[in-house]
Amino acid sequence: MAQGCPITGLEVALTDLQSSQNNVRHHTEEISVDRLVVRRGQAFSITLYFKNRGFQPGMDSIMFVAETGPLPDLAKGTRAVFSFTGSGGPSPWIASLEANRANSLEVSLCAPPIAAVGRYLLKIRIDSYQGFVTAYQLGEFILLFNPWCPADAVYLESEPQRQEYVVNDYGFIYQGSKSWIRPCPWNYGQFEENIIDICLELLEKSLNFQVDPSTDCALRGSPVYTSRVVCAMINSNDDNGVLNGNWSENYVDGINPAEWTGSVAILKQWHATGCQPVRYGQCWVFAAVMCTVMRCLGIPTRVITNFDSGHDTDGNLIIDEYYDNTGRILENMKKDTVWNFHVWNECWMARKDLPPGYGGWQVLDATPQETSNGLYCCGPASVKAIKEGEIDLNYDTRFAFSMVNADCMSWLVYGGKEQKLHQDTATVGNFISTKSIQSDERDDITESYKYEEGSLQEREVFLKALQKLQATRSQGPHQANSNPFSSVPPRHNSARSPDSPSLQPSDVLQVSLKFELLNSPKMGQDINFVLLAVNMSPQFKDLKLNLSAQSLLHDGSPLVPFWQDTAFITLFPEEEKSYPCKILYSQYSQYLSTDKLIRISALGEEKNSPEKILVNKIITLTFPGIMINVLGAAFVNQPLTVQVVFSNPLSEPVEDCVLTLEGSGLFRKQQRVLIGVLKPHHKASITLKTVPFKSGQRQIQANLRSNRFKDIKGYKNVYVDIGL
């Protein structure tokens, strides 16, 4: 510098956070191009422009400050002070000088891979020669978990998995029954406008934040802690969480859970109403919204469906079901349940709080079933720990184990007494499903949760879990013996067809019962089936069979029985007979639940014998889906025409028909089309236009509801080109 030229303080004129370039490198460009959204453990660049002169290393000292939360604290890690030389103290944050130009400075900053996620304020303090000091707020940025960083606890090595479980904004949630698994399309929309802000607001509305905001913000560096907070906030049982659960079939003051097709509308409604819980959700809605929030925060997440899912309320690893002498489920005695299907999440993370080997996929269940440390949340429970029966490991592994591997005990209640009918080791936990990686196919992951049913390993794991349970608590009801299998040995019928959940043949009666459908049961049509009875003994058998049918909710709760029959069958030695049955549409139409599930049961007994045999089968009524046609190629910012074809599957008119469509990157908001009345078996179509605003693989999700059905679904994958 020339002699006599005064040295002044270095003044910042402008800061360029380089949001567009940084966000591309940090895989957050779909969240925003105008706001800086970066991932921890990965450097990002900013440019400082100065008013009066350039940066002089010998004359100027720059100190950066990064703060998050309402009470930033150096000791807790929510405030970081750091410089190019590291003289700001033992901060794990890193600043590097990239380029020093005449009046600007390009700087690389990097948050440590353990930093708390959330909204940060970036400040700067400049100390110049002769005591000149200036300080500025450079701007805000959002810091997320980083599954691309090997040092991050959520690191996922596979790029296809990262694309599927972090970046993909649509998917499928599997519903129905194990005999009819249907994909329900869902718009996760984690990168849609304002969703990142709503996710951060969700963290700040948690009870943890309300009680101790400083500690809560400091702990947000842990995916284990953050996932538990999010899990509790998705339901509203303890707080103003996102969703109210409702399994009553009465949704007049809200939305039937079956009608939702995406998370965006739910989260935006929660935010717009001042964080009032949205009505209503059930398990798949809780899991889908949690998937949106977790992917948005950067934690790899997928949605899991477990068919025949156990809900063990008393924690004894046994699901007790009670029947009357007609084979009807007794709701007033039903505490444990087997859900036709249940949906939860798996999140990928290291588990340094557990013994080695239990990291990876972790179960998190936001459906409010049981409390965990006083709050309605479940997990994270290591999937590996569930498979190995390590039910004493944190968090809620015992409950998760019972969902996939509890045993079922059937009881007959008659004359004020309870008679054990059967203990089944193979009913719970079937066809555990999730969407395949970068494919629309279903991936069966049952083997990651348990060893093959009927195998020695599976029984050994169950007994190990039982022993761990008995070491920490008194025995549950109906377990007077130290080994619950002392009176009923483990049995598994390898020949049982996957669509026939019949119980095992009675060893005493030596009779086998089984239901068989004569045709595929369709919504609006009669149900035709037969009851097969097989005499496996050398004696005659005179059987009395009480048959019944009742609708079920997907959580296993029965509705009022609407059909009953009694049959008397005489069987010669080793003879097989079939008893034909028909349930008319007019008999079940008024009793059908939204889930369209019917449970048929038969309770058999032989004359002059106290022994009973029970068989049941769950029928899922199918219905035609919605067809979506995209007319022409799709380009960003160019009009696109979409045709939607749908029909009324019933032989009667349906009213109040409403069609909804959505799709991230294709529609700015959910589209609602009032259809009105649809005549019997009438097919209709509508055409509408939209303007895609994001490129790449996209999906349109559609739902048709009426006064008689709520969830006729359809979807269409669309590739949107950037164009010219």
Let me know whether 250 and 285 are in one domain: yes
Question: Lowest-confidence range among 552-556, 650-654, 706-710?
Answer: 552-556
Q: What is the CATH number of the domain that holds 190?
A: 3.90.260.10
Do residues 338 and 321 make contact, with C-beta atoms less than 8 angstroms apart? yes
34 labeled part of a ligand binding site: no
Catalytic residue status for 231: no
Per-residue confidence (pLDDT) for residue 89, from 0 to 100: 57
Taking 80 as the threshold, does the pLDDT of residue 487 lie above it?
A: no
Per-residue confidence (pLDDT) for residue 248, from 0 to 100: 87
Nearest to 443 by CA among 551, 346, 535: 346
Q: Provide the CA 449 distance to its chain's centre, in angstroms.
A: 16
Q: Provide the CA 282 distance to its chain's centre, in angstroms.
A: 10
Taking 90 as the threshold, does the pLDDT of residue 479 lie above it?
A: no
Nearest to 156 by CA among 348, 353, 437: 348
Tokens of 699: 């999906």
Do residues 700 and 716 make contact, with C-beta atoms less than 8 angstroms apart? yes
| pLDDT per residue as tens digits for the range 312-349 | 988 899 998 888 888 888 876 667 889 999 999 999 99
Per-residue confidence (pLDDT) for residue 693, from 0 to 100: 96
- Of 460, 493, 527, the residue at which a domain comes to its end is 460
482 in a structural domain: no
User: In terms of DSSP bridges, do strands 318-323 and 407-414 run parallel, antiparallel, or are they unpaired?
Assistant: parallel
- Of 420, 438, 460, the residue at which a domain comes to its end is 460
Let me know whether 308 and 404 are in one domain: yes
Let me know whether 605 and 649 are in one domain: no
Per-residue confidence (pLDDT) for residue 608, from 0 to 100: 81
494 in a structural domain: no
| Mean pLDDT within 583-606 | 92
Do residues 77 and 90 make contact, with C-beta atoms less than 8 angstroms apart? no
Let me know whether 706 and 613 are in one domain: no
Nearest to 218 by CA among 43, 67, 36: 67
Amino acid at 323: Y
| Mean pLDDT within 23-29 | 98
- Residue 547's pLDDT band, with cuts at 50, 70 and 90, is very high
Let me know whether 247 and 309 are in one domain: yes
- Of 460, 485, 501, the residue at which a domain comes to its end is 460
Q: What is the CATH number of the domain that holds 538?
A: 2.60.40.10
Per-residue confidence (pLDDT) for residue 509, from 0 to 100: 72
356 burial level (CB within 10 Å; 0-12, 13-18, 19+): exposed
Tokens of 606: 């032989």
Q: Which residue has the higher pLDDT, 204 or 454?
A: 204
Torsion angles phi and psi, residue 146, rounded to 5: -130, 90
| pLDDT per residue as tens digits for the range 55-84 | 998 889 999 999 999 999 999 999 999 998
Taking 70 as the threshold, does the pLDDT of residue 388 lie above it?
A: yes
Average pLDDT, whole number, for the chain?
91
Per-residue confidence (pLDDT) for residue 473, from 0 to 100: 66
The residue with tokens 């048929």 is 600
Let me know whether 36 and 166 are in one domain: no
| Mean pLDDT within 589-598 | 90
Amino acid at 553: L
Per-residue confidence (pLDDT) for residue 332, from 0 to 100: 64
Per-residue confidence (pLDDT) for residue 504, from 0 to 100: 41
Classify residue 643 by its DSSP letter.
Answer: E
Q: Return d(Cα 635, Cα 439) in angstroms, integer.
A: 22
Let me know whether 614 and 678 are in one domain: no
**Which residues form the domain of 605?**
511-620
Q: Return d(Cα 26, Cα 158) in angstroms, integer.
A: 16
Q: Return d(Cα 403, Cα 155) in angstroms, integer.
A: 28
The residue with tokens 């970081």 is 80
- Residue 139's pLDDT band, with cuts at 50, 70 and 90, is very high
Let me know whether 55 and 167 are in one domain: no
- Residue 483's pLDDT band, with cuts at 50, 70 and 90, is very low
495 in a structural domain: no
Domains in the chain, number: 4
484 in a structural domain: no
| pLDDT per residue as tens digits for the range 233-262 | 999 998 889 999 999 889 999 999 999 999
Active-site residue (options: 365, 424, 555, 595):
365
153 in a structural domain: no
**Rounded percentage of the chain residues whose pLDDT exceeds 70:** 93
Active-site residue (options: 27, 342, 422, 554):
342
373 labeled part of a ligand binding site: no
Catalytic residue status for 342: yes
Q: Is 32 helix (H, G, I), strand (E, B) or coil?
A: coil
| pLDDT per residue as tens digits for the range 396-414 | 999 999 999 999 988 889 8
407 labeled part of a ligand binding site: yes
| pLDDT per residue as tens digits for the range 605-639 | 988 888 889 999 999 999 889 999 999 999 999 99
Taking 90 as the threshold, does the pLDDT of residue 159 lie above it?
A: yes
Q: How much of the chain is in helix, strand and coil states, percent to nearest 5?
A: 15, 40, 45
Taking 60 as the threshold, does the pLDDT of residue 673 lie above it?
A: yes
200 in a structural domain: yes
Let me know whether 119 and 254 are in one domain: no
Let me know whether 612 and 635 are in one domain: no
C-alpha separations of 547 from 68, 438, 559, 599, 602 in Å: 64, 46, 16, 11, 4
SS (HEC) of 333-377:
HCCCEEEEEEEEEEEEECCCCCCCCCCEEEEECCCCCCCECCECC
C-alpha separations of 431 from 91, 180, 383, 397, 490 in Å: 48, 11, 15, 20, 21
For 450-575, strand residue ranges (E) read: 511-517, 527-535, 541-552, 558-571
Do residues 7 and 128 make contact, with C-beta atoms less than 8 angstroms apart? yes
Q: Is 211 helix (H, G, I), strand (E, B) or coil?
A: helix
Per-residue confidence (pLDDT) for residue 33, from 0 to 100: 93
Per-residue confidence (pLDDT) for residue 334, from 0 to 100: 62
Q: Provide the CA 677 distance to its chain's centre, in angstroms.
A: 34
Taking 80 as the threshold, does the pLDDT of residue 87 lie above it?
A: no
Let me know whether 540 and 634 are in one domain: no
Per-residue confidence (pLDDT) for residue 478, from 0 to 100: 36
684 in a structural domain: yes
Active-site residue (options: 283, 296, 347, 581):
283
Amino acid at 468: K
Report the 10 Å Cβ neighbour count for 645: 15
Per-residue confidence (pLDDT) for residue 502, from 0 to 100: 40
| Mean pLDDT within 139-151 | 98
**Which contiguous run of DSSP H or E holds residue 461?**
helix 456-472
Let me know whether 171 and 73 are in one domain: no
204 labeled part of a ligand binding site: no
331 in a structural domain: yes
